[in-house]
Structure 1
């Protein structure tokens, strides 16, 4: 440790080189994940599930009943919510199930989201109402389409599964108003966590062990599209996903697609694209389907979306698939726990676990911490040798040496007298008050956009967003110029950058264990913040650098997300506000509480009012 301390204090610690290497190694590590050497084939960890090991009987008779229910659903397409719920509840009650209804109302961005859910409970003949399985179908799916076949199939399964006496877990058949607010209202009320604008549930069952949502707007289809991303990047247990894939492949002979990769060739490129698409969804933290609302309550859930109109598969295929999944979930002796909860899927049969992919995000986060430590050490170094001469080192007098020699002889020990080395630099006193105040103020200012974008009305979101973009662009030079009366030094701006990067590295390394995708994306976009310098050059060079750093702003990232989804920025902000109010999404906290302050602080030194500032 003594040698390391001397190395650091002599300014020989190549922290910039180490930072660059950590970033390159982190990116290289990530790019190696799709290879066979670093990824693994999927496998079942919970043997009790036994997916695809039972014979399914959902067949011709149930198909006719499904078509009758499909006709009933079509007749209710233009009916009021109350009329629709009454008719669906009547069908469930006629099938011998206990029925419940629930109304809810949410408000976000000045818009009101209200509706009514209806559900029924099949009480397990061999159970004691302590555990349950949920089959869910939104009246409209996430794209706003009428989920005709999905609702009809849910009603058909309620009638069909009631005939079996093998169930040890209750089965809840849930039909929600939509696939966004409805499932959230129901699952919140199921756990008595609903807001005052959401009605409690009149009847309940036991602990929900698993949930499967059905997105089935058209009768015929070609493949299953499996959606598994939860709110804030949470994921269901991998065994549930593997169960569906195994049933689809081995029992139903249906292809399973992930992340809208319709033509996956299992090449490196397709694996990387699938993994990257999943990371984008997890980084955004939004709901990808009706299943997403269940995952925060530690309920493993997925959505099965039927894709490809006019395909050769129909309701019998998906009916048997759901029957087989329910049989597997019915076999569970305890909650999902054996397989992975943190993973990245790159193919239906290939994944990487957290132990393999986590170092890539950690290496990028460490880059900020290393640079922060290096800047802290530099801030305590003298500017030149003249400062050393102004502060001569203390010398040990002859009397002090004699006293030391006497002490050594009396203890019969050999001790070397430590004398200051002429090569050892002085430590300059650090003025911490101003840098700490600025960094804290910038982070506190992040509450302003967080409050505005989560509480403004829909019409005000877009103009306020662009006004805030202009404000953010002008804030760094304004801060730098406002510091002129306080006579800041090069040390001041070095410490501002050091503290900002230290916080950024701390937050991102912690976030990587919770939401790897969000940590990795923000860390990668923030890497240039590490290498910003105080410029000696004129205003032109400063403006040029300022223009480059604007591309890495959170506002520009939001523009890219809007372009990726093909939506206006205002709609993206509405979705974020809805997620904040309804889903409990906290992506905005990371963006405006971590990323945006670091982006601002990285530019403050660029607009330093000092003339000829020493490079940091």
Structure 2
């Protein structure tokens, strides 16, 4: 009977085991060869990054309704002469007079009122951006008015609104001109002339389908502050009578009562806040005096907070009209130091040669690029990547992106200071026609910008790299992280050799207590990262302290806090022989999660962080193991680990980058604190990344290197 039962059991057991699914088998193969995959992917990711200038595409207009340059300009010499007369009236006032700013506002308001448009004043209170941990993810200007602020902190914007004759007032286009009413600046007066010439023309045309708002922003407290305050009140009305009462009392004390001021022109000037429709786009116009210019140039600034960019069509329209209609040279910011790097020129020559060889083999393979174009594209790409990674707006247009309005700053620089009236009028005419053409194109839109790209990097004013191309390099860099973490997990949980089945390629004997110490250590270091991120709020409260002192205090308290956390958690850094693989696996997992989360908020920050953290994590290995081996391979790995650990330390990386761009002379410890202060003042997510992802992972990699085996 027993034999029959054994036969039945044997018959019930299948003679073969089901094969794992193909995706599982592929995962097993990749994990088993994680070293080779890591080398290939990291190398390909870095190569893909340097190939981006070569893969850049020419810009094009995606939205057909824009039709830039399809209509002839309507600006006349009368508009230019009136604009010049306004500039002369503004500059003729004595800047030293106490009421010079008030008189300039009155003159400007009178000119606008004579056009028959709605004119109003906007009163705002300026204050410096300060770090506060509870308000970190709010806008840089929280909008909380200080009722006990002094009268010297108040400013006044002048706003003119043209109601479109063929619209219902649901959409608007904004033109911003920063102007310091207390100073007598010829470049600012020139920008006022350009803005008034365009505004004067638009007040008479019949083809407007969107309202036009001209904001003359009071820039005495900063260009961004005045624009941000007006935008906040435009979208989020403040129903507080106390702050308004304080402002009125300040203005009355300065012999100006805006609420009762009247113009001798057609319309009444009011201090009540005036609104138009939803903003379709915004242009910030500035004129700067740059010496040594060989021609009139137009610089375009587009980066906003946390790497936000306006729709690419807006930049394309400006570039097309400036180059093909007004003959202006368009520039975007670039790292000039990159142009002097010899190895970049050698790389450009190599890629140029490869492109020529490929073209000779097959004429359809057109991916070659000249060496100067490659170097210029690399310098511009590096600047675009860095500016987006900082997360700090490059101009007043950044305030519009906080409200999801596409906006850019146009900075026009004449080649010479125009003392000749004819040349000056010609410059105003060309600049005003450019603004007129952009307004015409945006006016044609039936909906907001949406056809073109919002995620892109510029390599020149007429070339860009889309997100579908530049994300390949980032994906290749982070792809080895989960594979290496899984490989270390498998190695740390393998059973003893005596009990291991030789036929089983990947066998795991999970013992969770083996990972408890490493998990506690990773958690402790990231908790310390939160502590380090909050420290500046308390350090900044110290009175009469220099940035250098703040830096020293921050470093000392951070080091002391790390030691205290280790003591509280019973010293998780205590050496444990043979367990560094667990710590490295969890560190790599934390880096992978942190980089993926950061790529959602600010892709440029994640890209730069991956270039530093991924090699640091993959190469991290206890130095004692390499010292015991004492070979050329281990010596190179030790040198590489030490170099990467030094560069990955945020203060060291900052000073290296600053030295490469500006020179290594006159370095000051307080400069790093000032840089951090700018990040937290503008609520840049890069600050959170440095404190809660980059710095803790750097500490963990350092602990792996110093681990006792």
Residue 385 of structure 2 corresponds to 279
- The yes-or-no answer on 1:430 pairing with 2:528 is no
Gaps spanning 5+ residues in structure 2: where? 1-19, 132-140, 142-148, 245-270, 340-369, 418-422
Q: 316, 321, 325: which is aligned to 1:251? A: 325
Partner Cα distance (1:453, 1:568) in 2: 18
Structure 2 distance, partners of 1:286, 1:333, is: 31
Q: List per-residue Cα deviations over 1:116-143 (Å, max 9, x = no partner).
A: 33322111111111000010122269xx
Contact 2:319–2:461 at 8 Å: present in 1 too? yes
Contact 2:171–2:277 at 8 Å: present in 1 too? yes
1:33 aligns with 2:49: no
Distance, in Å, in 1 between the alignment partners of 2:469 and 2:438 is 30
Alignment check: 8 A CA contact 1:358 1:512 kept: no
| Aligned position for 1:555 | 651
Shift of 1:152: 3.4
* CA distance 1:40–1:83, shift in 2 (3 Å): same
Gap change, CA 1:423 and 1:325, over 3 Å in 2: closer
Distance 1:298 1:10, change over 3 A: closer
Is 2:563 the partner of 1:519? no
Q: CA deviation at 1:229?
A: 1.3
Is the Cα–Cα contact under 8 Å of residues 56 and 463 in structure 2 kept in the other structure?
yes
The partner residue of 1:330 within 426, 443, 447 is 443
Partner of 2:622: 534
Residue deviations 1:421-471 (CA, integer Å, cap 9, x gap): 477656251323332222222222222332233561584543222443466
Let me know the Cα RMSD of the aligned residues.
3.9
> Alpha-carbon deviation of 1:67?
2.1
Q: CA deviation at 1:294?
A: 0.9
Q: 1:330 to 1:438 in 2, by over 3 A?
A: same
Matches within 5 A, 1:118-517: 118-139=158-179, 147-176=188-217, 177=219, 178-192=222-236, 202-218=273-289, 222-260=296-334, 267-310=373-416, 314-381=427-494, 387-389=496-498, 392=499, 421=503, 427=509, 429-431=511-513, 432-454=515-537, 456=540, 459-469=545-555, 488-490=575-577, 492-517=579-604
Q: What do the CA deviations read for 1:229-288 (whole angstroms, capped 9, x no partner)?
A: 111111111111110111112211211111158999961111111111111111111110
Aligned residue for 1:397? Answer: none
Residues in 1 aligned to 2:518 and 2:116: alpha-carbon distance in whole angstroms: 69
Deviation of 1:209 after TM superposition, in Å, equals: 0.3
Q: Distance in 2 between matches of 1:277 and 1:94?
A: 45
Counterparts in 2 of 1:292 and 1:487: CA distance versus 1, 3 Å: closer
Residue 253 (structure 2) aligns with? none
| Partner in structure 2 of residue 108 of structure 1 | 129
Distance 1:438-1:357 versus aligned 2 partners, 3 A rule: same
Contact 1:361/1:512 (8 A) holds in 2:
no
Q: Per-residue deviation at 1:166?
A: 1.7
Distance 2:517 2:121 in 1: 60
Kept in 1: contact 2:335–2:382 (CA 8 A): no
Q: Which residue of 2 aligns with 1:412?
A: none
Larger displacement relative to structure 2 (551-560 or 483-492): 483-492
Give yes or no for contact 1:121–1:170 (8 Å, CA) kept in 2: yes
Structure 2: how far apart are the matches of 1:303 and 1:136? Answer: 9
Looking at structure 1, the residues matched to 669 and 202 of structure 2 have their Cα atoms a distance apart, in angstroms, of 45
CA shift digits 1:32-59 (9 cap, x unpaired): 2222xx3222111111111111111324
Cα distance between partner residues in 1 of 2:607 and 2:321: 33
Q: Deviations over 1:201-238 (max 9, x none)?
A: 81211110000101113499611111111111111111
- Are the equivalent residues in 1 in contact too, given 2:31–2:487 (CA < 8 A)? no
User: Out of 35, 43, 57, which is 1:24 matched to?
Assistant: 43
Once the two structures are superposed, what CA deviation does each residue of 1:75-114 show, in whole Å capped at 9, x if it has no partner? 3755666565455444433433322313123233599976
Shift in CA distance, 246/550, structure 1 to aligned 2, threshold 3 Å: same
Q: Please give the alpha-carbon distance, in whole angstroms, between the structure 1 residues aligned to 2:25 and 2:675.
A: 53
Distance 1:52 1:77, change over 3 A: farther
User: Residue deviations 1:135-186, cap 9 Å, x none?
Assistant: 0122269xx9863322332233333321222211111111222322222222
SS at match of 1:298: coil
Aligned mates of 2:297, 2:76 — CA distance in 1: 19
Determine the structure 1 residue equivalent to 2:690.
591
State the Cα distance separating 1:63 from its structure 2 match.
2.2
1:320 deviates by 0.6
**1:62 corresponds to 2:168:** no
Call closer, same or farther: CA 1:56–1:285 in 2, change over 3 Å: same
TM-score, with length taken from structure 1? 0.82
What SS class does the counterpart of residue 310 from structure 1 fall into?
coil
Most deviating of 550-559 and 304-313: 304-313
In the superposition, relative to structure 1, how do residues 191 and 544 fare at CA in structure 2: closer, same or farther (>3 Å)? same
Give the 3 Å change call, closer, same or farther, for CA 322–543 of structure 1 in structure 2.
closer
